[in-house]
Structure 1
Amino acid sequence: MADPHTGWSSGDPQAVLDGFEQLPGFVWIFEGPELRVVAANPAVRAAVGNRSGLIGEPFRQAVPELAGQHIFELLDQALHGIRSHGYEQRVLTDRDGDGRLTEAFYTFDMAPWHNPDGSVRGVIVQAVDATGVVAARQAAETAAATAERRYRQAAGLVLELQRSLLPDLLPVLPNVQVAAHYLVASSDLVAGGDWFDAVPLPDGRLALTVGDVVGHGATAAAAMGQLRTVARQALQSGGALPQVLAALDDFAARTPATRAATTCLAVLDPTSGALEAASHGHPAPLVIDASGDSRYLPLAPAGPLGTGAGPVPVHACQLRADDVLLLYTDGLIERPRQSLREGARVLADTAAAARRGMLTEATTVPQRLPDRICTLVTERLALAGGGFGDDTTLLAAHLLPKPVAPLHLTLPADTTALRPMRRQMSDWLTRIGASGPDTSDLVHAAGEAATNAIDHAYPSGTTGTFTVHGTLDDQGVVHVTCTDQGRWRPPVPDPGGRGRGLTMIRGLVDRAEVRHTEAGTTVSMHHHIGQATNVTTVATAQAAGPHKQATVVEEFAVAVIETPTGRVLRVQGPVDLVTGPQLRAAIMQASRGGSLPLTIDLTPVTHLSSTGVKILHEVGRIITSLRVTATGQSPAHGVLELTGLGHLLPEATASGSDTGHHR
């Protein structure tokens, strides 16, 4: 059994045959266009039943019940040189010959069997029975789902109530970065009473507050929500720190559920570093400087809220650039068999170590300093004490050494400028601290504005430029303008594409205006951005941990994938004026001019412009059975819903619901 070309031998023929007969997986070997069975090991015969005359019979006649299960079609593709794979594919066979079909799951590989001259002789199929693995996983998933449902019914209501009452987002500001972690106690019986907030004030300062309500459960969660609302309203109305605390004290005195709550309130001027802080029965804030040294602010706390403690002393001090201010609740320093003084020392040491640590880019720890400190401090203190006996809140504010400079780009009004514009704008948004969804929305909107400038501003054959300018204000609003020096040509009536760009811009950002003058056109976009707060249980935080987002690849590529359920066109990278024609050609080729059903997977798409939207509308009228897939977190998903293409998504088809705004 030696290969005449290489001289390599597969071994003793009898040993090869014996091994073939005892392979744990099964092997079929088919020959010729009729796919006659020329070899099948015992595992095959166990899978389909002991059928007489199996060897030498055409496969379609030997196992006719496989018709309609897409097995024969994959074998035909292999005969034409296309190899295919299946993972835990369900297959139904009549093992006992009585017409009743038995279910099994197989992971398989179908490959062409070649002659020495390279022509296809037949097909070789090797497979492994995955039925036991699938059954075990399904049982585990069912058990986990049942346990999760029971847990949520019994205890998850408190966590959901807390999440609804605490801020969803923390502001992203030019001179200070903010992060917060809220860990629900290890025991459901003691959860429910902490709150935190970060409120940009009308004069440009930032108010930071944490607090703790006496009691636990839904009543305490509702009470903390009331106190947070009172504090936010008093702060946003322009009240000074003593007035805000007086309003909280008065409210707590008249509301039994909030009486004896504790709170710490700090107001920071991010420009000058001036800080005012005061406490009603609450631990003092901690400051970590650039070298990692720590100090507690020397507050003189008054009694808890609503207990008649009277006016609270206000401590004023100056933070230096690069200082980090930490506000927290006592759950972070209350440790078993340990005094509060010792717990405070451990917190200071842990926070200082988190500040000093030098991290590589490969780590999953967040790179933003306040996020890093919150993550490492809560992880390490939970590990040291075996979890927390009470709800735990940590709020961090990093006074930046200098703000990120505004974005300013001047680029040629040409399609080649779109990719560098998106990359540079995305980098700038990352530097100012914008979240992934906010960055995606703003980059998409700016891309549409730039596309309009390229498409409409200058007569064909002439050159021009456009300018993109971005700033972040002290209320956490990003302002982006896209300006050209041309005069937009009137749009040609085209329901499939023209005019969709401005519609997309207005749907992606909070507010947008277009201003035409003799000097050119300016598209102004305004969008409030924020960083998501981290509200979770100790167990979930320890199990999941933080994860960095995968690096976004801006290379356009398409690939056709044959699956048991049909043909899929997978698209990655940006779909814009440059790559749109390539996408349209790939769709028409994969669907054979629209004659074949097609699923287009847009999950890896980094940018879906109005050009791509127009193409999808056009091919949707040509291809009779077109589906589009995109995960809910992908940039394409929101654009599809926003532009009237949500009906192509599988979930919309399954639910029968209409599409809505993605944000």
Structure 2
Amino acid sequence: MVRPHEARWSSGDPKAVVDAFEDLPGFVWIFEGPELRVVAANPAVRAAVGNRSGLIGEPFRQAVPELAGQHIFELLDQALQGVRSHGYEQRVLTDRDGDGRLTEAFYTFDMAPWRNPDGSVRGVIVQAVDATPVVAARRAAEAAAATAERRYRQAAGLILELQRSLLPDVLPVLPRVQVAAHYLVAGNDLVAGGDWFDVVPLPDGRLALTVGDVVGHGAQAAAAMGQLRTVTRQAFQSDGSLPHVLSVLNAFAAQATTTRAATTCVAVLDPTTGALEVASHAHPPPLVIDAAGDSRYLPLAPAGPLGTGAGPAPVHTFRLAGGDVLLLYTDGLIERPRQSLHDSPGALATAAAAARRDVLDEDTTLPDRLPDRICTLVTERLALAGGGFGDDTTLLAAHLLPEPVAPLHLTLPADPTALRPMRQHLRDWLNRIGGREQDVSDLIHAAGEAATNAIDHAYGSGTSGAFTMRARLDEQGVVHLTCTDQGQWRPPVHDPGGRGRGLTMIRGLVDRVEVRHTEAGTTVSMRHHVGRATDVTTVATAQAAGPHKQPIVVDEFALAVIETPMGRTLRVQGPVDLATGPRLRAAIMQASRGGSLPITIDLTAVTHLTSTGVQILHEVTRTITELHVTASRHSPAHGVLQLTGLRHLLADSPGSGTQTH
């Protein structure tokens, strides 16, 4: 005989199912309706968010509001539309204790539509596993696996080292601005790319920040990138004015096909006043995140790509407030297949604002410095949102500090017991300014030698004395370190050839040292450039270490020539990139009979218009007598054309029509 509950429950006894649900070691959320109301959550998942009262029945966005900007709500909305998604070791920050400080954990999860019997979507079911112990164990193993690291570098390191050699290996450490940069080399083939960035302190105390993108990948693109970066740096150092730098760049880019049609955004910041000058050649505008976490894109009027005959880019003036973070980036960060450039900036702004607002526990693995943390979280979350990055990606962040880093001033007794606290105070100060480990070690070692000389030589036996250690950071990223005593250095009683060894060591540790003896005492002055290492890695490496294991979508490329009463139209479908660009160029020339016939290129169905396609369009406008381009207003191609100085080709734009060259 079949009992009634057996007819309704194919999964077994209802009580057993409920008991098992309560004891599941994994996490299970069940949401219902468009508001994603929590209808079920097992104890494990409730504990993960802090056992909040009133959780069941509440819309998820209200129940766990701190997830805004972490791309969790967006994935749930996709599941409501019937799209299943997965996350692999995704970093999630939640307020478990209710005090506003976010606790870090890593989860592997599956978000699936919850369907009604008729197939309609009723809600979302989320299954998750806490991967935090696995992530911690793997990181510990990776830190200890020096042999495995060497093997990896043998396989992949050559390309990365080439890329690193063409980019700044360190960024300056400055008293009023903290900077950070992340560079991701796209593709599984480990092919060097054409993105570049640079940060250049100028002699007058201002700071130049640049990002740019050369068409293509490979050795030629990498070489062109290196040339443009070098020319930009030299132009800044020779003159410093933004119009001069842009003029030099334009002239240089026009000399070779490898540099022609590159894009760039250049900014000059005065850290003292916050005054900011920005100009763009066909490059996306900078994003500013203020201290409250609000974001805004700087309104720019970009000129055409470099070296294409476009006029000089107009220089726009803005003002940053203390606490503002300026983000410069390349289009690889925001371009997505089948996604309009009108939508992509919103995703970047949301992710950056959330990263700016997050208040983290002390035990987080994220960097302490705000610009480093923003770079880490933004690249992680946007990679998750788009299934990785299909192009090289650069993100450069500059944080204008509310107050400059204060100098260090220590006066300690001329006694060996003072060396340990001196080193600790100096280490704390150097870590506070953001010096890399090697610089910190060198300066602490040099300071210790100088202090030791003061202790050994300045005062006579049985005479008390003191020494003063001062450290300051100047606007060029140089630490000025001085050790001063008020005694007279005594010659050693016995000198078996060891005198001066401490000074010799100091000279080997710092860039410059000077010893000055006077009747008032002795001063050892040291100068040393400090820097912070840049983060240059591959998308594949970043994905292996993070949550985004989703494959990059590759659409099918197709071309079709349509004869209409208005003339001949070439319809393009799919991605226009390095692989498909030659086919597009050949099809354009064939359809226009070498440029003698008018032609319309329909880019509405193009899912990805890269800089390769932009360069092709710039080239064919010089050959074809009459060229028009069509693209729906919200298509990816439309946004790219407006951004890269090709808006005039659009059939719906003022001045479109016959192009004569």
TM-score by length of 2: 0.59
2:190 touches 2:538 (CA, 8 Å); kept in 1?
A: no
AA of the residue aligned to 2:368: Q
Kindly tell me: are residues 149 and 433 of structure 1, through their superposed partners in 2, closer, same or farther at Cα, counting changes over 3 Å? closer
Q: Distance in 1 between the 2:531 and 2:170 partners? A: 5
Distance in 2 (alpha carbons) for counterparts of 1:505 and 1:149: 33
Q: Which amino acid aligns with 2:516?
A: R
Query: What amino acid is the match of 2:340?
Result: S
Cα distance, 1:158 vs. partner?
3.4
- Counterpart in the other structure of 2:355: 354
Q: Deviations over 1:105-145 (max 9, x none)?
A: xxxxxxxxxxxxxxxxxxxxxxxxxxxxxxxx9xxx99979
Structure 2 CA distance for partners of 1:142 and 1:165, relative to 1, 3 Å: closer
Are the counterparts in 2 of residues 158 and 221 from structure 1 also a CA contact under 8 Å? no
Alpha-carbon contact 1:445-1:508 (below 8 Å) kept: yes
Q: List per-residue Cα deviations over 1:12-48 (Å, max 9, x = no partner).
A: xxxxxxxxxxxxxxxxxxxxxxxxxxxxxxxxxxxxx
* Structure 2: distance between partners of 1:289 and 1:483: 41
Q: Which residue of 1 aligns with 2:306?
A: 305
User: Which AA in structure 2 matches 1:306?
Assistant: G
Return the letter of the residue paired with 2:467: F
Match for residue 346 of structure 2? 345
Q: Across the two proteins, how many residue pairs are aligned to each other?
A: 404
Deviations 1:229-266 (A, max 9, x none): 00000001123101101110000111211000000000
Map of 2:162 onto structure 1:
161
| Map of 1:363 onto structure 2 | 364
Whole-angstrom CA distance in 1 between matches of 2:150 and 2:205: 49
Deviations 1:596-621 (A, max 9, x none): xxxxxxxxxxxxxxxxxxxxxxxxxx
Give the CA deviation at 1:187: 3.3
* Amino acid in the other structure paired with 2:299: P
Any gaps of 5 or more consecutive residues in structure 2? 1-140, 547-661
Deviation readout 1:301-329 (Å, 9 max, x if unpaired)? 00000001111111101101000000000
SS in 2 for 1:257: coil
- Is 1:406 equivalent to 2:407 in the alignment? yes
SS at match of 1:188: coil
SS state at 2:300 partner: coil
| Alignment of structure 1 residues 605-644 onto 2, 5 Å | none
1:189/1:167 Cα in 2 relative to 1: closer, same or farther (>3 Å)?
A: closer
SS in 1 for 2:168: coil
Pairwise CA distance, 1:483: 0.3
Tell me: CA distance 1:250–1:142, structure 2 relative to 1, closer, same or farther (3 Å). Answer: closer
Is residue 507 of structure 1 aligned with residue 504 of structure 2? Answer: no
Check the 8 A contact 1:324/1:399 in 2, yes or no.
yes
Alpha-carbon RMSD: 2.2
Equivalent residue for 2:393?
Answer: 392
Residue aligning to 2:420: 419
- In 2, distance between residues paired with 1:253 and 1:498? 59
The whole-number CA distance in structure 1 between the counterparts of 2:446 and 2:152 is: 39
Residue equivalent to 2:117: none
1:4-153 matches, cutoff 5 A: 148=152, 151-152=155-156
Alpha-carbon shift at residue 148 of structure 1 (Å): 4.3
Aligned AA for 1:200?
P
Counterpart residue number, 1:488: 489
1:190–1:389 Cα contact (<8 Å) kept: no
Match of 1:328 in 2: 329
In 2: Cα distance, 1:358 partner to 1:482 partner:
39
Cα deviations by residue, 1:496-547 (Å, 9 ceiling, x for unpaired): 75432111111111110111110000000100000000001122234457xx
Shift of 1:433: 1.4
The residue identity in structure 1 corresponding to 2:316 is H
Alpha-carbon distance in 2 for matches of 1:388, 1:484: 57
Give how far 1:281 is off: 0.3
Answering whether residue 448 of structure 2 is matched by residue 447 of structure 1, we say yes
For 1:365 and 1:231, the matched residues in 2 are separated by 32
Choose between structure 1 and 2 for higher RCO, CA contacts under 8 A separated by at least 6 residues.
2
1:379 and 2:374 aligned? no
Change (3 A) 1:308 1:488: same
Is residue 2:198 matched to residue 1:188? no
Name the CA distance, whole Å, in 2 between partners of 1:189 and 1:256: 23
Matches within 5 A, 1:206-285: 206-285=207-286
Q: 1:146 to 1:235 in 2, by over 3 A?
A: closer
Contact 1:201 1:238 in 2 (8 A): no
Residues 327 and 396, structure 2, Cα contact 8 Å, conserved in 1: yes
Equivalent position amino acid for 1:526 in 2: R
Which residue in 1 is equivalent to 2:319? 318
Contact 1:190/1:390 (CA < 8 Å) preserved in 2? no
Structure 2 CA distance for aligned equivalents of residues 150 and 518 of structure 1:
58
* Equivalent pair of 1:434/1:531 in contact (CA under 8 Å): yes
d(CA) in 1 for partners of 2:368 and 2:445?
25
- Does the Cα contact within 8 Å between 1:456 and 1:489 map onto a contact in 2? yes
Q: Does 1:535 align with 2:532?
A: no
Q: Return closer, same or farther for 1:383/1:495 CA change in 2, 3 Å cut-off.
A: farther
Compare CA radii of gyration and give the structure with the larger one: 1
Q: Is residue 2:480 matched to residue 1:479?
A: yes
Inter-partner Cα distance in structure 1 for 2:371 and 2:443: 24
Distance 2:518 2:220 in 1: 58
Q: What is the one-letter code of the residue matched to 1:508?
A: L
Distance 1:146 1:206 in 2: 37
Q: Summarize the Cα distance change of 1:146–1:494 in structure 2 as closer, same or farther, 3 Å threshold.
A: closer
- C-alpha contact (below 8 Å) 2:163/2:192 kept by paired residues: no
Contact 2:215 2:221 in 1 (8 A): yes
1:265–1:518 Cα change, 3 Å:
same
